[in-house]
Structure 1
Amino acid sequence: MAERAVRTRHLRRLWGLPGTRIGLTGWPAGARRLHVPWHYWWQAHLLDCLIDAQLRASVPARRRDIEQLIDTIRLRNGRRWINRYYDDIAWLGLALWRAGEELDLRRPEALEEIRRRLRAGWTDHGGGGIWWRAKDNLKNVPANGPAAMLFTRLGDRVDLQRAMSIVDWIDEWLVDPDTGLVLDGLRVDPAGEVSGVVEWTFTYCQGVYIGACVELWLATGNQLYASLVRRTVLAVAEHLVGEGGVLPGNGGGDGGLFAGILARYLAQAAVVLGDKEAAQIVYLSADSAWRNRFEARSGPLFGPEWVMPAARGRRRPERDLSVQLSAWMLLEAAAVLERHEVHPTFG
């Protein structure tokens, strides 16, 4: 039902062109039918959610949508796969990798272009890591976590070593010693020295770090990575989850995606490493999001805070594709746990 609602309200042709599919960033559409502004990374998560759904219940129509969405992202992005944001292209790379490996919808030229750009984003400034965007002074976890996951999945020995270096860099510089939570990033001056730490503890920073460590555990079998996952799950459980054990939201816009991303990788930790606490957070969050949905004629509408009732309104964050994708991603994560028979410890 969550999938159907997003597809009904948001999935459209690009500029009315036949054979195209893209996600409208807001609903009702209004001026956004022109697809301005362009939220590249939201489309990557729309692609990821569609892949989740296809693995859950394969249908030809959805497969066509996935293939058209891949090509339309490139078309809307000026016939290019990349932009100046390293986190954006890492997210698209992860979704494209899944489309190829899990659905046999391959775009090898796109993955190679993204791989080259991410490799070029690593420098020794600030002790290592990939920049958030070109010609910037920030190196952050939202760019480095997805890049580490993609490097690991691509399977090249050099890329695997780079992924390990990324996790080492995050662990050295960006884990709060008091809470175990992963901080956002480092500010780096032109001389390459760290000039400040961005101490935000966003949900999606925890998620991408968990995801990177799970991938490295799968690739290497090194128990260090399992222990880093466990430390982060415990930190999330103690310091981030709120009322009823539910993940907190971060408003609309880009922040609308943050909690769903953490849910995705908590579910991965639960399936791969058997982390029951990670599973419980996903189940409690999914249950709360579903109970607090607003039933619109087009299907369930979810709010940015899963412990609060969703509502319609002209200026409400429920209008954002990001917020709806986050809830859909959460419910797909719970469905993954059910398929793998990873059960909650409550009820």
Structure 2
Amino acid sequence: MTQRAGFAESTTENSPSLWGARAAVAERAVVARHVRRVWGLPGTRLGVAGWPQSVNNRLHGHWNYWWQAHLLDCLVDAQERQPSRTRAGMIARVVRGIHLRNLGSWTNDYYDDIAWLGLALMRANDCERVPVVAAMNRIAARLRSGWTDHGGGGIWWRREDDFKNVPANGPAAILFARWASRGGERQDRQRARSMTEWMSQVLVDPGTGLLWDGVYVRPDGSIRDIVKVTYTYCQGVYIGACVELARGDRSGVWVERAARTINAVAAHLNDELVVRGRGGGDGGLFAGILTRYLAQAALRLPSPAADVARALVMGSAGAAWRNRALAPSGPLFGPEWSKPARVPRSPAHRRVERDLSVQLSGWMVLEAAALLERSPG
């Protein structure tokens, strides 16, 4: 089947509240299985890294900082879908839990991690007026300090490293594009443009239009190696940055670049309109990240790019739901939405369905579909 035929023949259900109901079921399942207090302390919540839970999981011994940012993002998605006081309280408790488990700090050494938390905090503030100014000032200052001219520009993946990549520059660019009008510096929007321009000039594969992962640089600033791997994560954050920069831009360049990348995803990174997965661990979040920003593109770009983005989101959501497994508290999602999920039997069962990252990704794609359901194109 050709891509064009696939878009024409895709059949997603059209009930006005179907995807909202499915997202709600996914939310209840993830919260019931994964969300717990931090060290038993009242007024806190975090996502447990694995289910069924090991003792180390229950104690939040393995600290997945950026997974928690996506848990917070998903809770904000749900609050925008159907506001509730209970969830509003949970959002505030997750913010407190992140700060506590990160030992009283909002930042760490990874620029991508802190960009994700900053994005989630901004949305929590927009949705529930969670106080974020102090946290955002710390995060934005750290991200600004990550820019150097090594490799032609961009920020580092982590402090004191020799690697610059899309996974750090993409979310940082989205953050600066948004923070510039919410309390950041006037130059922050230009920082967003510079980061996205650097990705466009250095890391776009001329053959496919997809974004490569990143570059290693020498001490003198020259590029030593280009990591020519194409992750769904990279496409999602680049699309998200271009969509943010397209707002108020008359040149059309950002719309054009976002559309090019969406078409490249449609040509190379899906199977019958289902975005491909990347296993468990951190990779479990990659497909969900892409669908989050495809949904934004579907809402804010003109056709035909918006139509392609919408088809990819709805096709992925449909597959994730069809291939869910039945587990305690509700559906459980697999790392590959086109394949049936399998329920892990115990903490020792080596199935990536245990990972919070994989379950957040499944919840995320259903929230993306619910968002598009509320805003039909």
Instruction: Normalising by structure 2, report the TM-score.
Output: 0.89
Q: Distance in 1 between matches of 2:76 and 2:156?
A: 28
Report the secondary structure of 1:18's partner residue: strand
What's the offset of the Cα at 1:219? Answer: 4.5
Asked if 1:4 corresponds to 2:28, the answer is yes
1:251-330 paired onto structure 2 within 5 Å? 251-274=279-302, 275-313=306-344, 314-330=349-365
Report the secondary structure of 2:226's partner residue: strand
Q: Distance in 1 between matches of 2:33 and 2:142?
A: 34
What's the offset of the Cα at 1:152? Answer: 0.6
1:13 is aligned, of 37, 42, 48, to 37
> Deviation digits for residues 131-158 of structure 1, max 9, x if unmatched?
0000111000000000001101012331
2:46 is aligned, of 22, 27, 45, to 22
Q: Distance in 1 between matches of 2:201 and 2:186?
A: 23
AA matched with 1:265: Y
What's the offset of the Cα at 1:238? Answer: 0.3
1:217-232 paired onto structure 2 within 5 Å? 217-232=246-261
What does residue 150 of structure 2 align with?
Answer: 125
AA matched with 2:189: L
Asked if 1:48 corresponds to 2:77, the answer is no
Indicate if the aligned counterparts of 1:152 and 1:219 stay in contact, CA closer than 8 A.
no
Q: Distance in 2 between matches of 1:71 and 1:110?
A: 11
AA matched with 1:286: A
Indicate if the aligned counterparts of 1:123 and 1:130 stay in contact, CA closer than 8 A.
yes
Report the secondary structure of 1:234's partner residue: helix
Asked if 1:137 corresponds to 2:162, the answer is yes
Report the secondary structure of 2:116's partner residue: helix
What does residue 186 of structure 1 align with?
Answer: 215
What's the offset of the Cα at 1:30? Answer: 1.4
Q: Distance in 1 between matches of 2:41 and 2:72?
A: 19
Indicate if the aligned counterparts of 2:79 and 2:127 stay in contact, CA closer than 8 A.
no
Identity among equivalent positions (%) equals: 58
Q: Distance in 2 between matches of 1:264 and 1:312?
A: 25
> Deviation digits for residues 215-262 of structure 1, max 9, x if unmatched?
0011434411000010000000001112x2200000000000000000
AA matched with 1:236: V
AA matched with 2:37: R
Q: Distance in 2 between matches of 1:128 and 1:219?
A: 24
Report the secondary structure of 2:42's partner residue: coil
AA matched with 1:249: G
What does residue 13 of structure 2 align with?
Answer: none
Q: Distance in 2 between matches of 1:262 and 1:193?
A: 30
Indicate if the aligned counterparts of 1:188 and 1:194 stay in contact, CA closer than 8 A.
yes
Q: Distance in 2 between matches of 1:102 and 1:58?
A: 9
What does residue 83 of structure 1 align with?
Answer: 108
> Deviation digits for residues 250-283 of structure 1, max 9, x if unmatched?
0000000000000000000000114100000000
Report the secondary structure of 2:331's partner residue: strand
Q: Distance in 2 between matches of 1:171 and 1:230?
A: 13
What does residue 345 of structure 1 align with?
Answer: none
What does residue 238 of structure 1 align with?
Answer: 267
Structure of greater relative contact order (alpha carbons < 8 Å, 6+ residues apart): 2
AA matched with 2:315: L
1:79-118 paired onto structure 2 within 5 Å? 79-118=104-143
- Residues 46/312 of structure 1: CA separation in 2 closer, same or farther (3 Å cut): same
Indicate if the aligned counterparts of 2:43 and 2:96 stay in contact, CA closer than 8 A.
no
> Deviation digits for residues 50-77 of structure 1, max 9, x if unmatched?
0000000000010000001001101000
Q: Distance in 1 between matches of 2:248 and 2:141?
A: 21
Structure 2, unpaired ranges of 5+:
1-24
Q: Distance in 2 between matches of 1:297 and 1:73?
A: 26
Report how many residues are paired: 341
Indicate if the aligned counterparts of 1:27 and 1:321 stay in contact, CA closer than 8 A.
yes
> Deviation digits for residues 159-206 of structure 1, max 9, x if unmatched?
111111111100110000000000100101111110000111000100
Indicate if the aligned counterparts of 1:93 and 1:111 stay in contact, CA closer than 8 A.
yes
Q: Distance in 2 between matches of 1:317 and 1:270?
A: 30
What does residue 201 of structure 2 align with?
Answer: 172
1:213 is aligned, of 236, 242, 245, to 242
What's the offset of the Cα at 1:298? Answer: 1.4
Indicate if the aligned counterparts of 1:270 and 1:278 stay in contact, CA closer than 8 A.
yes
AA matched with 1:42: W
Report the secondary structure of 1:105's partner residue: coil
- Aligned-residue RMSD, C-alpha: 0.9
> Deviation digits for residues 266-320 of structure 1, max 9, x if unmatched?
0000001141000000000000110000011210000000000000131100000
Q: Distance in 2 between matches of 1:78 and 1:297?
A: 32
